[in-house]
Structure formats: C-alpha cells, structure tokens
Amino acid sequence: MKKRSQIITRKKMTMAQIAEVAGVSVPTVSKVLRRQYDGSQATRERVEQILLEHGYLDQRALQRARNGEKTAVCLVLPLLESSYELEILRGVDTGLNEINHHLILIKRSNEPTHAHQWLMQLSDTALNGVILVFGDQHHAQVEDTLQQQHLPFVIVDHLSELGPTVPSVGINNFAGGRSAVAHLFSLGHRRIGIITGPLTLACARDRLAGYHTVLSEEGFPVDSALIRHGVFEEAEGIKSGYQEANALLNLPDPPTAIFASNDTQAIGVYKALFERGIRIPQDISVIGFDDIPIASQMLPTLTTVRQPLFEMGRTATSMLLRLLENKPLDSTRVELPTSLIIRQSCAKSPL
C-alpha cells in the first residue's frame, strides 16, 4: 500500500516537468511514452527511467515494449455489460482488427473520486491511445490527465457538453427525439407520454427537447403529467421504464402512445402493459431509442430510433488512428445520423 501511494503522489509531476528534468521537449516525452520515439537509445532510456519513477510507465509494460510486443488501444467503458456498450465495442474491435492492433478493455467507475484508480491502469501497459465511452458527465479530470500525458483519445457518445477541441463522435439526440414524436403524431396520437433519461445528461435533455418541439410545432400545449423521468442503465432502465409506464397508465387521461428514451426502458414499458392486459399496438403505441439487438426480437418488434452504435465505435477508431499518425482530423466533432426503424409496436391512435 505504501508503494502504491508513492506512485500516485509522483504521478502528479506534469509532462512539462518530466521534459525539463530529462532535458528534452514535451513532444519527445510524448513519443517515448507512446513508443514512437526514433531518436537515440540513450535519450529514450533516460526518459523511460523518469517516466517509470513518476508512474507514467510500469516495469512490466516497459519490458513488453522493449521486447517488441505491439502497443495497444484501450477502450474504457462504464459498465461492460449493456447491449449498448457491446455494439460500440464491436465497432472498435472491427476497426482495430483491420490494422492488427491489440484492444484492451477497462471498466471505469462513474464516481469521480474513483477516477484515479482506473486512470492508473492506463499507465500499466504500452498504449497508443484511448477511446472512452462516458456514462456520466464527470469527464474533465480524465481529459486533463490524458492531455497531460499527451496520450491521444476520442470520446464516444458523450452524455454532457465537451470543449470544441475534444475529439468526439456521437449523434444528434434532438433530431432523433423529434423524429420519434413526429412519427407518433403522424399516426394521430396527441396524448404522448415520454420517459426521459436523467436530465443531468445532455442526451436526455436533447431528446426531451425534440418532444417539446413537435408539440409546439403542432400547436399542442405540454402536459407535464405526461413527462416522467427515468434512468438509462440496463437493469435500472428496465425497472424505471416499468415504474414510469405504470405512473402514466394511472393518469385519469392516460396516453395513447409512450416514447421511451432508450430501448431498455421500453422493455419495462412492455412489461407494465402486459401485466394490465393492454395490447401493443392496438391499444397503445410504444417507441424506443437506440435499436439495440433485442429491439428486433421483442413481441411485437419495437419501433425505435436507431443510434448507429457500431458505426460510432468504428468511426472513433478511425479518428484515433489519424491522431496516432499525427494527421489532422477533418472535424473534432463527428455526428452520425439517426434513423427511424419502423416495426410493429406503433399504430394509428385508437381515439
């Protein structure tokens, strides 16, 4: 435990300070850290020793690199269990397989106070770069640490606002939410319930904004009773979908359609409707968001807004590889289009 605390303390030394001690430039330190330095062996070994002493490398990772083993790309995920994350993982893995790179997975804690624990793991192997999938809005510490280490990174589907220089790939959540509600309006639905994600998350707020926009454009006032707040995580998302659907169904004037802000919530909505003997879509329509694999296997199959998760992972990988090659990005922010996937869970309003 004493050795670990010493490493954490030493790691506070910045890349600029390490460069000064080593008598080299910051870019040189960065190249040594990423195994891309092609200068003198003496300089490389001197910088490596200082990086070891201050926690940027460990002895095992350094020995693997000196033995000629390939460096790797790290994918950091918040849960390592959801269908949502697995689709992103497939995209990243496919992109790396095309160039024969290793992929390392790290599960990160959503607690900002635990960030140093998994950030330390990033120094335990010879990494080229990092792809991060954030499950919350606590990302500033991570960005600062990676930038201090001059370790290239790309953020996938951020759930809160990012700076203009942070490389990221995601979707237009506002447009996706708007298309879901507009589809229900086209079927004659006027009382449309929505189950949001946590409104601390930008994606949840944007999907709700899409809902508000359609109502405004159609000249219908917003009924706050039709807006329920849930969560996105897999198990808790199903539970919140179930609970909030029951709350909507208990209204004196219940909705004829429900927009679940992700597909796991929609699973919970299905359960609530099944228990009450309410038929989908004859009695009520349901629409989701994400198009995770199970959406096409539900009965009836779920109409949903497709978030191109596989393509997001693959695009993030392409962006990171450009950064590793010191090539400029066409844009630091890439937004992929959503698409409405019409299946069996929506029909004309029964009213």
| CATH number of the domain residue 296 falls in | 3.40.50.2300
Tell me the pLDDT tens digit for each residue of 320-346: 988 888 888 999 999 999 999 999 999
Its domain, for residue 24, covers 1-68
- Please tell me the pTM assigned to this model: 0.76
Tell me the pLDDT tens digit for each residue of 158-181: 655 677 788 999 999 999 999 999
pLDDT of residue 8: 34
Q: Could you tell me if residue 268 is inside a domain?
A: yes
Q: Could you tell me if residue 119 is inside a domain?
A: no
Q: Could you tell me if residue 30 is inside a domain?
A: yes
52, 68, 84 — which closes off a domain? Answer: 68
68, 88, 113 — which closes off a domain? Answer: 68
pLDDT at 236 over 80: yes
Q: Could you tell me if residue 323 is inside a domain?
A: no
Q: Could you tell me if residue 144 is inside a domain?
A: no
The four Cα atoms 41, 25, 116, 203 give a dihedral, to 10 degrees, of: -120
Q: Could you tell me if residue 318 is inside a domain?
A: no
Number of domains in the chain: 2
Phi (first) and psi of residue 73, to 5 degrees: -105, 135
Closest CA to 54 of 36, 32, 73: 32
How far CA 250 is from CA of 209, 242, 245, in Å, comes to 25, 12, 9
Tell me the pLDDT tens digit for each residue of 57-113: 656 556 655 665 556 788 888 766 678 888 899 999 888 876 667 788 877 765 555
H or E element: which one contains 131?
strand 127-133
Average pLDDT of span 223-244: 93
CATH number at residue 6: 1.10.260
pLDDT at 223 over 90: yes
Angle of helix 309-324 versus helix 83-97 axis, rounded to 10: 40
SS3 letters across 301-326: CCEEEECCHHHHHHHHHHHHHHHHCC
Q: Residue 5, exposed/middle/buried by CB under 10 A (0-12, 13-18, 19+)? A: exposed
- The H-assigned helical ranges of the chain are 2-10, 15-22, 26-33, 41-53, 59-66, 83-97, 115-121, 140-148, 173-186, 202-217, 234-249, 263-275, 309-324
Q: Could you tell me if residue 79 is inside a domain?
A: no
The amino acid present at 314, given as its one-letter code, is R
Q: Is 144 helix (H, G, I), strand (E, B) or coil?
A: helix
Residue whose token pair is 């429900």: 258
pLDDT at 153 over 50: yes
Q: Could you tell me if residue 121 is inside a domain?
A: no
Average pLDDT of span 212-218: 97
17, 46, 68 — which closes off a domain? Answer: 68
**Tokens for 8?**
């954490």
